[in-house]
Amino acid sequence: MKRFVYFIALMFFFTIFLGNPAKAAQVPNVDSEGAVLMDAATGKLLYSKNPNESLAPASTTKVMTALVVLENADLNAKVTIGKNPPAVDGTRLGLIEGEVFTVNDLLHAMLLLSGNDCAVALAEYVGGSVEGFAEMMNKKAKEIGANNSHFTNPSGLYDENHKTTPYDLALITREAAKTPHYLEISQAAVYEFPPSNINGEKKWADNKNSLIRKNSMYYYPYALTGKTGYTIDAKHSYTSVAEKDGQRLIATFMRSDIKNSFFLNAKDLYEYGFNNFSLVKLYSKGQEVSSYEVDKDTTIPLLATQDVYYVTDKGQEKNVNSKVESETKDLSKTSFKRGEVILNSEVKVNNENYIALPLASGEDREVKPVTTTVKESILNKNSLPVILSVGSFLGILFLLKYKNHIKRKKLKAKYPNIFNKKMRK
Would you list which residues are annotated within the binding site for substrate? 227
Give the span between the Cα atoms of 265 and 221, in whole angstroms: 15
Is 256 known to be catalytic? Answer: no
**Residue of 23, 44, 62, 256 marked active site:** 62
Contacts of 39 (CB under 8 A, 6+ apart): 45, 46, 247, 248, 249, 250, 273, 277, 279, 309, 311
Name the nearest CA neighbour of 275 among 9, 47, 42.
47
**Residue of 32, 59, 149, 196 marked active site:** 59
Is 62 known to be catalytic? Answer: yes
**Residue of 32, 114, 210, 240 marked active site:** 114
Estimate the crossing angle of helix 61-72 against helix 116-127, to 10 degrees: 40
Query: Which residue type, as a one-letter code, is found at position 341?
Result: V
Give the span between the Cα atoms of 169 and 239, in whole angstroms: 7
Give the span between the Cα atoms of 59 and 164, in whole angstroms: 12
Q: What is the largest CA-CA distance in the chain?
A: 150
Contacts of 29 (CB under 8 A, 6+ apart): 265, 268
SS3 146: coil
From the annotation, which residues make up the binding site? 227
Q: Where are the alpha helices (DSSP H) in 144-192?
A: 166-178, 182-186
Is 186 known to be catalytic? Answer: no
* Residues labelled as active-site residues: 59, 62, 114
